[in-house]
Amino acid sequence: MEPKDTFFSKKRSIKCRGEIIDLSEPQIMGILNITPDSFYDGGRYKSADEIKNRVSEMIHEGCDILDIGAFSTRPGAENITENEERNRLTPVLELIKHQFPDLILSVDTFRSGIAKYVVENFNVDIINDISAGDLDSKMLDTIAELNVPYIMMHMKGTPETMQQNPEYKNVVKEVIGYFSKKVQQAKLMGISDVIIDPGFGFGKTIEHNYQLLKHLDDFRIFELPVLVGLSRKSMIYKTLDISPDESLNGTTVLNTLALVGGANIVRVHDIKAAREAIHLVNKFSKVNVNDWYE
C-alpha cells in the first residue's frame, strides 16, 4: 500500500441538492437527538431556543452535516409510533430550515414513511437508516424514488434484541458479507449515493466493536464512503469504567483511530474535538517519511 493510501480513503463524494460534497477531507456529522431517552443527550434540547442555540454552536465549531433523530434506538427505549416520530421531527425541521437554510440535514430513521415525509416536505438531504432497510421493506424503494444519499448501517437483530448476547464467528467478515449483499441490492435499485456504517454498538459486544475498528480499512473494498458512530458509546465508558459524560477524551481517541483507518464521516456529539482530530490526523498523514532520509 502506498503511503498516500494509509490514512484517508481515496477521493469520495456524495451529491446533495445538485452539488457534489467532497469526502476526501473527512466530514463531521453532528448529532441532534430530540428524544427524551437517548443514552447521552436525551431530553437536553426541548425548546426552540435550546435547539437553535445548540445548532448554531455546532455550526460555529465546524459541523458539516446535522443528523436529527426522533426515535431513540438504545436498548429499552420507548418504541414510539410513526405518527409520534413525525410530530417530533416536524417543528424541529421547520425551525432549522428557517434559521439555517444552507445546513446539510440528515434524518435518522428506519421508516420509509418518515424518509418520504422529511425529504418531500423539508428537503432533507440524507437518510440515515440503522437497519439498512431490514426494518422496513419499502425503504430501499423509497430511497431510490427520492434520489437522496443513503446511510446504511449494520445491526444484528432489532433495537430491542440487539444486545442480547450477540454472537459472530468472525464479526468483520460477517459485517462485510452483509454489506456485499446490501450494496449490490442498492445498486440494482438505482441508489447512487450509499454510505456504509459498520454499526458500532448495534448488536455487538465491546470486543466485536474493537475488532471492527481494528479492521476498519477492510471496508475500503466497497470503494464507498464509510461513516463511524463512536461518540460516547459503551465501548468507551464501560472499558474505562466511567460515564458517558466523562467519555469525550475516549471518543476523540477512537475517532482518531477511525480516521487513520479511513473513515470519511465521523458522527459525534462534540464538534470541536472532532474537528481538531481531523486537522491533526490530516497534518500527520501529509508528512513525507522520505524527508527524514534526505
- The helix (H) or strand (E) run that includes residue 28 is strand 27-33
Whether 286 is catalytic = no
User: H helices within 108-233, ranges in order?
Assistant: 112-122, 139-146, 171-188, 206-214
The alpha-carbon radius of gyration of the chain (Å, integer) is 18
Select which of 17, 267, 283, 286 is catalytic: 267
Residue 52 to residue 175: CA distance in whole angstroms: 37
* Phi, then psi, of 106 in degrees rounded to 5: -120, 145
Whether 17 is catalytic = no
Residue 125 to residue 79: CA distance in whole angstroms: 25
Select which of 233, 272, 275, 283 is catalytic: 233
Neighbours of 97 (CB within 10 A): 15
Residue 121 to residue 237: CA distance in whole angstroms: 39
**Strand ranges for 133-269 from DSSP E:** 150-153, 194-197, 227-228, 265-268
Residues designated catalytic? 233, 267
